[in-house]
Amino acid sequence: MTRFAAPIAEQIWDMKYRFKEADGTPIDQSVEDSWRRIARALASVEKKPAVWEEKFYGALEDFQYLPAGRITAGAGTARSVTLFNCFVMGTIPDSMSGIFDMLKEAALTMQQGGGIGYDFSTIRPKGAHVAGVAADASGPLSFMDVWDAMCRTIMSAGSRRGAMMATMRCDHPDVEQFISAKADSARLRMFNLSVLVTDPFMEAVKADGSWDLQFDGKVYHTVKARDLWNKIMKATYDYAEPGVIFIDRINKANNLSYIEQIAATNPCGEQPLPPYGACLLGSINLARLVDTPFEKGADIPEAKLDELVALAIRMMDNVVDASNFPLPQQAEEAQNKRRIGLGVTGLADALLMMGLRYGSEEAAAQTETWLKRIARASYLASVELAKEKGAFPLFDAEKFLASGNMMQMDDDVREAIRTHGIRNALLTSIAPTGTISLYAGNVSSGIEPVFAYAYTRKVLQKDGTRTEEEVVDYAVQMWRDKFGDAELPDYFVNAQTLAPLEHVRMQAAAQKWIDSSISKTINCPEDISFEGFKDVYMEAYETGCKGCTTYRPNDVTGSVLSVSEKEEKTPAESPAVVTETADGGAEVVYMSEPLDRPQSLEGHTYKLKWPDSEHAIYLTINDIIVGGHRRPFEVFINSKNMEHYAWTVALTRMISAVFRRGGDVSFVVEELKAVFDPRGGAWVQGKYIPSILAAIGGVIEKHLVATGFLEGEGKGLKADPTAKVVGLDAPRGKACPSCGQFSMMMVEGCMTCSSCGHSKCG
């Protein structure tokens, strides 16, 4: 018997969370071993570790409590890794030396795999006077380019990628350039961007008033607030960035407003954090807790939920003491405030089991009820920890009770805190749970609606054959087990069929009892009007949300992965094809047969002369015509320089293999152009090229633009030449940069691959 509800769950465990030797030999022989490893590690800081190990194991068992991925993968491995998912770094000083000190700290944090957030509002605007230097300031965006290059370099060195979030205040003089930065699809690829929107700005937008753009008390420009708001909205409408963070609301609602000011968030936005603050995340799996699902009276027992929450809070508090930190300032910040973020996953599935339609007023009310219960149980559990182990070091009872969410908390909870203190300054957050939700049996992710009730993926077996495997949503599978082939009721809705304002309703209902923030994507139809799109953000502001992230399919961001076909089918029958190897590996992953090679192909040969190299490199790129469109099919790279022989042959084979799979292969150009040579690049035709591989990427890009495959340098596809290639009638998501599948979808504020679990946010 296996504990896994679906094959994909076991494969995700094996790929992401199973403890293995360096050579890949498993140490965790079963998922029970993984639970035991985590329970033992987090109980090790207790006075009675054996007692708490058993209790922690009980919480982890059957995927009831799901620690964040870094805890699940790293706890108990004795490896020098951080168990924290992400960090907000220190305030960037407005000086050259200070800026590059911060860059060094960012590199050290990312080297351990942590995502980072930064507020770039503290850097003087472009053109501002720099005392003592005969030049004007280059502005914050130029330094963001440096951060972006650093992140690419860390990736090229083979380290696990950590995402970055950049924020900028809505009154910074360079905010308009910040808003439009992602219009260039090749720029700031390692960043998510969000504008810090203040309450005075929103009032000016509503009143159609003027708005000053200023730095250090000097007004550089005055604009119409509504014009600036429309620029933010248009950029987000066109290419999904920047996001919007209601920063004044975040600071007013912060339990620690008396000792800290927040100006940035982690990459997915659910953790607004002070300088050197860290994300410590975990989720209660609501889908596993519903009694008598799909029957009258289905519900989550309060006592059962309270007990599980209390164990989760204790486990998360212990992580603060058990984890490594990349920087001493991060360790000090975590110890002083002991901030944690307990959230939920499987909410949509739990609502389905109770017969509630996600997005309805009834579902929103039930969501608020559950999250208030979790908030109460979390605070009371933290009070009990304070009795036993002491309150967090910076606790001040009167100031704490007069700030943030504590103002609306129940009187008995407030009195308990006043009497005994509290162990953790903040306790709740809704984190992205895409991969751990798959690991838990494909439960719905976070507080998101179900994305697809079922899809099919092709799995390459070790003997070379391929099998098809259906991946079914957890609640849908439970319905099938209970009612067989009975048609799904009308309340089974998904992300594609929901109105945007229904998404907002659910986010607002959840936010009321969440200390930090929420990672959520509001899916908008491609044909939503611009005015209707703006209404989504205004509704999010008016209903108490702390931020807003939308996703509207378009030519820049690509389509949301769709599960519909040309034929009308029920949600449970509609497939989308994604693939993965049977043992969970990703070394050979594809969606279709490679394209067959015709007898003859048309192509071009290019000569690349790299400075200081005796021999030129010759690139031949051959094309194929598919569906009336010309697309790259193969590459040959040759040079008389024998030093280049091995890697040019390898590159030839790998790029050609990618091209022959079809799809959006523009990422090949992007990845090659991102490679930096630590020995230095070269100036070629007046342009600095960071490496010879980047130069090859530039030549391939030039060819793809000339043949009409790409719109232009640094831009995406000119048309969709993938039609009729991969064997799908349905629209597809963007190609995954990790596995190449057309499975990228926006989930919880982050582009995520439903096939291999790759996430833009690390």
Summary mean pLDDT of the chain: 86
Geometric angle at alpha carbon 505, from 500 and 507, rounded to 5° = 95
| Residue 273: band (very low, low, confident or very high) from pLDDT cuts 50, 70, 90 | very high
| Annotation says 270 is catalytic | yes
Cross-strand pairs, 638 = 618
**Nearest CA among 2, 1, 7 for reference residue 468:** 7
- Position 437 scores a pLDDT of 93
- Any domain includes 158: yes
pLDDT at 641 over 80: no
- Position 566 scores a pLDDT of 33
CB-based contact 748:446 (threshold 8 Å): yes
| Residue 666: band (very low, low, confident or very high) from pLDDT cuts 50, 70, 90 | confident
| Annotation says 268 is catalytic | yes
Alpha carbons 13 and 18: distance in angstroms, whole number: 6
Q: Which residue is listed with tokens 């907002």?
A: 504
Determine what percent of the chain is predicted with pLDDT higher than 90.
59
Looking at residue 736, what DSSP letter applies? P
Alpha carbons 444 and 475: distance in angstroms, whole number: 8
Structure tokens at 443: 């439960």
- Position 555 scores a pLDDT of 62
Cross-strand pairs, 689 = 682
Determine what percent of the chain is predicted with pLDDT higher than 70.
85
pLDDT at 588 over 50: no
| Residue 253: band (very low, low, confident or very high) from pLDDT cuts 50, 70, 90 | very high
Q: Residue type at 386?
A: A
| Residue 578: band (very low, low, confident or very high) from pLDDT cuts 50, 70, 90 | very low
pLDDT at 560 over 60: no
pLDDT at 725 over 50: no
Cross-strand pairs, 459 = 467, 580
Domain boundary, last residue among 237, 252, 267: 252
**Between helices 361-389 and 500-511, what is the axis angle to 10°?**
30
Q: Per the residue annotation, which of 241, 270, 333, 701 is the catalytic one?
A: 270
- Any domain includes 717: no
- Any domain includes 169: yes
- Position 113 scores a pLDDT of 72
Kindly write down the DSSP assignment for every residue of 143-212, as one continuous string.
HHHHHHHHHHHHHHTTPPP--EEEEEETTSTTHHHHHHGGGSTTSSTTEEEEEEE-HHHHHHHHHT-EEE
- Any domain includes 42: no
Number of domains in the chain: 2
Q: Which residue is listed with tokens 């994305």?
A: 451
| Residue 187: band (very low, low, confident or very high) from pLDDT cuts 50, 70, 90 | confident
- Position 678 scores a pLDDT of 66
Lowest mean pLDDT among 125-134, 138-147, 290-299, 370-379: 125-134
For the residues 107-111, what does the mean pLDDT come to?
85
Q: Express each pLDDT in 132-149 by its tens digit.
A: 766 789 999 999 999 988
Q: Express each pLDDT in 375-414 by its tens digit.
A: 999 999 999 999 999 999 999 999 999 998 899 999 999 9
- Position 580 scores a pLDDT of 42
- Any domain includes 116: yes
- Position 134 scores a pLDDT of 63
Alpha carbons 671 and 529: distance in angstroms, whole number: 35
- Any domain includes 565: no
| Annotation says 61 is catalytic | no
CB-based contact 594:617 (threshold 8 Å): no
Lowest mean pLDDT among 126-140, 264-278, 541-555, 738-752: 738-752
Domain holding 225, by residue range, is: 86-252
- Position 456 scores a pLDDT of 77
Name the more confident of 497 and 496. 497
Q: How far is CA 458 from the centre of its chain?
A: 25
**Nearest CA among 593, 586, 556, 590 for reference residue 712:** 556
- Position 691 scores a pLDDT of 85
Q: Per the residue annotation, which of 151, 268, 524, 756 is the catalytic one?
A: 268
Q: Which residues of 466-482 are buried (b: 16+ CB within 10 A; e: fewer)?
A: eeebebbbbbbbbbeee
- Position 639 scores a pLDDT of 82
- Any domain includes 628: yes
Alpha carbons 197 and 122: distance in angstroms, whole number: 15
**Between helices 411-420 and 361-389, what is the axis angle to 10°?**
20
For the residues 9-16, what does the mean pLDDT come to?
90
- Position 671 scores a pLDDT of 83
Q: Phi-psi bin for 225: left (phi > 0), alpha (psi -120 to 50), beta? A: alpha
Name the more confident of 142 and 583. 142
Looking at residue 430, what DSSP letter applies? B
Name the more confident of 22 and 384. 384
Alpha carbons 450 and 452: distance in angstroms, whole number: 6
| Residue 590: band (very low, low, confident or very high) from pLDDT cuts 50, 70, 90 | very low
Name the more confident of 713 and 224. 224
Other C-beta atoms lying within 10 Å of the C-beta of residue 670: 16
Q: Which residues of 415-439 are buried (b: 16+ CB within 10 A; e: fewer)?
A: ebbeebbbbbbbbbbbbbbbbbbbb
Alpha carbons 11 and 585: distance in angstroms, whole number: 8
- Any domain includes 499: no
Q: What is the CA radius of gyration of the chain?
A: 26
Alpha carbons 743 and 761: distance in angstroms, whole number: 16
Name the more confident of 390 and 471. 390
Domain boundary, last residue among 231, 252, 273: 252
pLDDT at 531 over 90: yes
For the residues 640-645, what does the mean pLDDT come to?
75
Alpha carbons 122 and 286: distance in angstroms, whole number: 41
Name the more confident of 583 and 42. 42
For the residues 115-130, what does the mean pLDDT come to?
94
For the residues 219-243, what does the mean pLDDT come to?
96
- Position 225 scores a pLDDT of 98
Q: Express each pLDDT in 300-332 by its tens digit.
A: 999 999 999 999 999 999 999 999 898 999 999
Rounded to 5 degrees, φ, ψ at 720 are -105, 90
Lowest mean pLDDT among 51-55, 161-165, 284-288, 500-504: 161-165
For the residues 735-759, what does the mean pLDDT come to?
62
Geometric angle at alpha carbon 499, from 493 and 500, rounded to 5° = 125
Domain boundary, last residue among 706, 730, 755: 706
Residues 6+ apart with CB under 8 A from 401: 414, 417, 418
